[in-house]
Amino acid sequence: MESSPSGTGRITVQEAAERTGHAARDTASGTAGAPVLLDVREPDEWNAGHVPGAVHLSLATLYEGMPLPFEVQGRCLIVICRSGNRSRRAAELLGAHGVEAVDVIGGMRAWAEAGLPVVDARGLRGTVA
């Protein structure tokens, strides 16, 4: 894991997939206390394609001070966006509020390029918008 100048952790898509259970079929994702993948892209990007089981909350909504969804409260967050820029800002914002958060280097683009699962709003094969 590498750190940015602010100290916010950054992880690769492979590390994110391992921690969230997307790297191996026998790894349980969604286990209580396990890290949660938080997608901070805009709704149209999310609808086009996102990681199965991820939670969506746009960066704009985070900046507005909206509370985190119940299912992610008190858990480590692995933050992802399209390329890694918004997720880095989101992880820094969350960290400033005492939330354990790391961001994914390369974002959804790198996730999809690694052949990891992406689904659309209907649960079908998605694309990275």
Q: Which residues are catalytic?
A: 81
Round to whole Å and give the CA distance between 86 and 119: 20
Query: If you average pLDDT over residues 52-60, what whole number do you get?
Result: 96
For Cα atoms 3, 60, 10, give the angle at the middle one, nearest 5 degrees. Answer: 15
Cα distances (angstroms) measured from residue 40 to each of 24, 84, 95: 24, 10, 15
> Residues with Cβ < 8 Å from 108, sequence gap 6 or more?
39, 41, 45, 49, 50, 51, 80, 81, 82, 83, 118, 128
Q: Tell me the whole-structure pTM to 2 decimals.
A: 0.88
Check whether 43 has a pLDDT greater than 70: yes
CA distance 108 to 98: 25
Kindly list the structural domains of the chain, giving each domain's residue range(s) and its CATH number in brackets, ordered by start.
2-113 (3.40.250.10)
| CA triple 107-21-73, angle to 5 deg | 75
Confidence of residue 34 (pLDDT cuts 50, 70, 90): confident
